[in-house]
Every structure is written in C-alpha cells, then in structure tokens.
Structure 1
Amino acid sequence: MKKIIINQDNISKRLDLFLTEELGESRNFILKNIKSGKILVNNQIVKGGYLLKQDDEIVINELKVDTSVVASDIPIDIIYEDNDIMVINKKSGMVVHPGNGNYSNTLVNALMHYTDELSDEAGDNRSGIVHRIDKDTSGLLLISKTNEAHRILSDDFKNKRIKRKYIALVHGIIDSSKGKIVAPIGRSKFDRKKMCVTEENSKKAITNFIVLERYKNTTLIELILETGRTHQIRVHMDYINHQIVNDPIYGRREVINDYGQMLHAAYLGFNHPITKEFLEFTVNPEKEFDEILDKYKNIS
C-alpha cells in the first residue's frame, strides 16, 4: 500500500493524469484501478477526473496488473553490493521496470533472477527500484535490497541528499562555461508519451551544466540535477536548443543509429542508508557511446 498527500503544487490536477505521471503507468491502467477501488481518495472511490485538493490523501492498494513479473536470466553489471543495497551499471536499451505492456527483459526481471532479497516498497513490478533512468540512458542506478534501505534512500532522493552527475553530447556550441536551466516540466498535450516545458500541470525542474569540451558543432557537457523529473535533461536541452545527439524523441533529425540518446549517468554519491558511510561511484560510458563521440570529435 502506498499513500500520497497532495501538496499545493498538485492542487486542481486530475487524479488520473496525476497518477499517470507519478506512477509511470498508462492512463488506461490507472483508470481501471480507480474504477475497481484499488485507488482511493480520502477513503472514497472517486472518478478519474476528480480534481485534487490540498491535503487529499490518495491510498494506492496493490494494483491489478495484466501480467506477472517473471525473473529472467539477463546479465547485469553490478558495481557494488552489500546486505542492504546494490549499485548497477545499466546498459543503454534496458527498461528499468515493467509497465505499459512491457513485462519482460527489464532490469527488475534481471534483479529478480539474481536475488530474492529486494525491497517491495514500490510494488512487485518495481522490486528494488528507488529511482529510474530512461531506457536508452546508460549508467548508475541505486538498488535497495531491504524496505528499510528503500525508505531511507527515497527520503534522501526527495531531500536532494544524493548526488548524481551525467555526461551528454549535445548539438551546437555552448559558449558559456556553465549554466542553469530553471523551467517547469509537464506532460505534452499533443503527445502523451512526451514531456515538455510548460506552466500548465507541471513541476519545478532545475538542471545545472558545465561544459567539458567543444567540438566542431557539438558540445560535451556534465549535468547535475536539482530535481528528478521524467526526461528532465532531454527536455531541458531541447528547450535551450542544444538537443542531445542521437535522441530519437527530443533530438534533431540526424539520428546516427538506434543506440539512443548520448546521455550517461556517470556519477553517484550518497550516504549508505544503514552505515551512513559516504559512498561514491563513477563509471565510463559504453563503447557505443565512445564510438559516436569519436565521430563528432573528428569532424573538421
């Protein structure tokens, strides 16, 4: 069971649209569970179009899913592991958890095959998952093996105590050595699979970046997030017209191959949820990332 208390930022949002974004599930899936009474507002069954009010309590019971999540023997790159947590280097192309009709070949399927010791705080189809990165984004992910670790890490993410750094290759030359993008992000009215910068039904989003190298017509940057919105880096770089190279959704037309966006979660720093020891990890991008990077480096 999960409880959500509505704050001022989410007043007047439709219940179904709010939960679609909050849970990362399809609107139809959310509506089915609202109608079946799996999702309650202030202990009452309401309609999907219910407009949220300050301090409304949403209770989400175990949601009915169409397919069970099955453990799969899929290789995973484990950077660190102890009794409470794991740090994984996720490959580009791997979905983090099942959802929206995709219930196989995800990181959760792989984790369930590797170990029975995974937190279930986020639900059965998100066993061990504390945070996410996009399917075609590679790099570091923090996994919780116990519910206690999950609760502490979730609070650390919420209160910005966990440090994450990304690297990305973007189109165009960024003249300034660093920058800060402050622009709210919400779901696009025109394409429900896309996010966009908008003042309507949006959440605060802040992205900081530092220029690492400039090439002929691209720039390599490091990014640090102050918030963690869906597709945040990709949307913000599109917003300032420096789209991520090879991004099939938010990028420009010149997509080199199907590797996906040139975005890599390179650094993770956090206090261990139980021992409180500060841990930090850095991983290099995959060879496919480097191959695309070399192509742009060598343009004269």
Structure 2
Amino acid sequence: MSLIKKIIAAVPLSLLLATLSVMASSIEEGKEALQNENYTFALEQFQLLAEKGDAEAQLFLGGMYLRGEGVDQNLEEAAEWLKLAAEQGEPTAQNNLGWMYQNGRGVSRDFQEAMKWYRRSAEQGMAVAQQNIAQMYYDGEGVSRDYSEAASWFELAAEQGLTKSQETLGDMYYRGMGVDQSHEKGVQWTRRAAEQGASVAQYNLGVAYSEGLGVPQSYTDAAAWYLLAAEQGDSEAQFNLGNMYYQGRGVEQNMVESTKWYQLAAEQDEPEAQYFVGVAYAEGIGVTQDSLEAVKWFFQAAENGIDEAKEELEKLSEQNLAEAKEALEELN
C-alpha cells in the first residue's frame, strides 16, 4: 500500500519537473529569437508563459510592448505586464516600472510610485535602480534634494561598475557635495569611469592632471586623457587639447594639430574655439590663410559673446573686406 502511494505521489512531481523544463526551454528559445530579431516567435513564447504567470516572460513581453518589437508599441500594455512581473519580485521589471512611473510612460507620472519600485529593485542589488534613486535625490525629483543620500546610492551603483555613477560620485568628491571633499577620492572614482571609456570622466581626469588635483600635476597625462575624450567628441576636451598643442604643453608644439582640435570644438559651438579658429585662418596658423573663413568663425564667436571676435571683424572691416563689414552690420 505504501509503495502504491509513493508511485502515485511521484507522478505530479514528474509532471511539475517536465513543465518547468518546457518553460525554461521556451524562455531561452524566446530570448534567442528576440536577440535574432525573430519577434513573432519570441512574442509567441513569452505570451504563452506570461499568461501562465512566469515573471521573466512577463518582463520580456512588457519590454516588447515598450519598444514596439513584433507588436504595435503600447506603453499601457507594457506597464501592465511589467507590473505583474514586478509584483512577483522581478528586479529588472521593478526598475523598468519605476522608470515608467518617473517619466509618465504608460502610467500617470507618480514619483512616489517610481521611488517605491526603484527601492524594491535596488534592495535586490540592481545597480541601475540604485543609480536611479541616487539621481532622484541628486535632482530633488519627487523627494527633497539630498546630496548625502544621493552619494550613498551612487556609491552602491559605482561599486557595481556603472560608469555614470562613478563619474558623478567622482565629481561629488571633487566638489564636496554630500561627502567630505577629497580630490584623491574624486580621482579614484573618475579614473574608474574613465578607464571604462566614459568621455566626461576622461575629460575630468585630464583637468585633474592639468591642475594637480588629487594627483601630481602632469601635462603629459592631461593631454593623454584629453585626447581620449576628444576622440569621442567631447568639445571641451578638444578645445583643451588644441590649447596644449598650441602651447606645447604635454605634447610637442604643433600648430596644425592645434587648429585641427580647435576647429572640431568650434564645429560643436564652443565660442572660444570659434575665436581661435578665426585667428588661425586670419593669420595662417596651422592652415592656409583665408580671410573669408576667418570672418565666418569670428562672426560665430561674436554671436556667442566673444568680444575679441567682434574686434577682429572690425580690423578686417578697416581693411575694406566687404564680408567683414556685412558681418558687423548683422551683429549690430
């Protein structure tokens, strides 16, 4: 009799194991299909499992509705599926639902709800949620601005490798915002972000080396970090690198390189760079002399508030350059 009971009891267990195996297989197949942009098959897999209450499937299904992958984008539907997953404790769903509440996407904007779901996710170690909480405290969005609380949450996310948190935390240590000011700790966190390729951190590290903040002053190291940021399009790094080539600081003096970096910064509307590019074309520094190009850049710099650029236009106007006179008339 006891043997029969054991056999009967084993049947539901084997069915359960088989079901779990199929669910796991379907989830993995759905993920693979999603990665391969086979949205129809992925949707079928996730929909089937989501309707049976599988939290991971609900997360992925919500994501497909959020992005409009294989379905018409439907933010309300996305929020519903994410909430079902979030209520089961799925940390990514909790974070994403928090984002939707914070930004009023698919739900009414509600900072308290956003913070609630971010916290649930963050308490499970989700770095992005920790960073989102930090940013809300930093900006005072939905909560009283609290730099100390922001720094605490940024540090949790930074320790998990999030570059934005490392970058911001480094800046907070430089400035003494919510933490005791420490240039050394500022450099420590900034370097970790910079080494992961964050261009703002690379620029900030260049500044630290240029000014000797938290590190021994080194124009060579400053130029190296500016170059990394400049190559990623950071206009301030491009301008500073132009200065370093112009002055021969940390690099061999090179007017061609100097003007090249000035011009890249100028094209991103950096006013001082626009002025120096104007000077370069007016005097033939690192480029072929070209008065018309000089007028163009002086005009842009003057429009952006550089008084010296207007003075240069006046000099060119006195040389009877018609384009300079027209530029001055437009400025006036």
Length-normalised TM-score, structure 1: 0.23
Length-normalised TM-score, structure 2: 0.21
Select the structure that is richer in strand.
1
- Work out which structure has the larger RCO, using CA pairs closer than 8 Å and 6 or more positions apart in sequence: 1
Select the structure that is richer in helix.
2
